[in-house]
Amino acid sequence: MSGEVLQGWWHWAQGIIPASERQSGLQELKQFLRAFTVLSPLEITLRRFPPQIHLKLPLTELQERWQRRWQERVPLQYLIGVAHWHDLELVVTPSVLIPRPETEELLEVVAATVPPWQQQGHWLDLGTGSGAIAIGLARLFPTALIHAVDCSPEALEVAQVNIQKYALGDRVRCYVGNWFDPIVPLQGQVQGIVSNPPYIPTSLVATLQPEVQYHEPLLALDGGTDGLQAIRQILETAPEYLQRQGWLFIELMATQGEAVAALARATQAYERVEILRDLSGHDRFLLAQTP
């Protein structure tokens, strides 16, 4: 395709970005074009296109996808098929949650908390989705064996693609099923558990931005009436799986800190229970350790 035609396309593409989202929309347009061409960021920013450009998809397909971004509010990551998270570029489809910056922080909390002697053995990622946490953990703890569980077979297919992409097939195993059900043989052997479970109360799902409520999997969002259904289940069962002084890290919603800490203490199975804040100052993570 000629650079001139792409100039015309750019003009059209920026014209359909809603005025209220012009700045962020332009950033997305640059990312969108980067994903489907071999143009450099500078060529795109300056709109200095070479005379001939190779497009990875036909122009009509690009046009249709960019329209879906604004008419249907499909998240950019689903349209380009990848999400940048931590130091990874993960494949994503509408079967998986788009991994969030808060979850990068969760991984940083794990890295800062777990002493070297426990950075090995069996670790769990419960509700792995795209495999983000499992892959992040495997790279963080190079001798650990990671068990990634999700009840969605479609999500696990995506996780497998990402695990292969980072050549971690020998250290990250995937299981389909309900939380701990597929990994019963690991009872009493697990060094640590990391989970970003669904935690949005059902009644709030309809208040989320359209990109999230209409396009991300409900299974990844809906945490039941009080949002704590999955968290409660994980808190209650985790002690059966953890070794002595084993770790549990769970991501939560900003308003759930006190309730989750109370649930953890009520099990009487943890000697240390803390709620940690994210970079925005909101309660975001549970850290618990068995005696």
Ligand X SMILES: C[S@@+](CC[C@H](N)C(=O)[O-])C[C@H]1O[C@@H](n2cnc3c(N)ncnc32)[C@H](O)[C@@H]1O
Task: Say whether residue 104 binds ligand X (CB under 6 A).
Answer: no
Residue 48: DSSP 8-state: -
Task: Say whether residue 7 binds ligand X (CB under 6 A).
Answer: no
Cα 159 to the center of its chain, rounded Å: 11
Rounded to a whole number of angstroms, the CA Rg of the chain reads 21
Nearest distance from C-beta of residue 257 to ligand X, angstroms: 17
Task: Say whether residue 105 binds ligand X (CB under 6 A).
Answer: no
Question: Residue 130: which of 105, 166, 179 has the closest Cα?
Answer: 166
Residue 134 CA to residue 63 CA, distance in Å, equals: 35
Task: Say whether residue 201 binds ligand X (CB under 6 A).
Answer: no
190 bridge partner residues: 122, 242
Report which residue type is found at 17.
I
Give 182 or 239: the residue with its C-beta nearer to ligand X. Answer: 182
Among 129, 136, 192, 227, binds ligand X (CB under 6 A): 129
Nearest distance from C-beta of residue 276 to ligand X, angstroms: 16
Give 103 or 256: the residue with its C-beta nearer to ligand X. Answer: 103
Among 16, 26, 151, 204, binds ligand X (CB under 6 A): 151
Nearest distance from C-beta of residue 184 to ligand X, angstroms: 14
Task: Say whether residue 55 binds ligand X (CB under 6 A).
Answer: no
Nearest distance from C-beta of residue 284 to ligand X, angstroms: 12
CB atoms within 10 A of CB 172: 25
Residues near ligand X, by CB under 6 A: 97, 99, 103, 127-130, 132-133, 149-152, 155, 178-179, 196-198, 219-220, 230
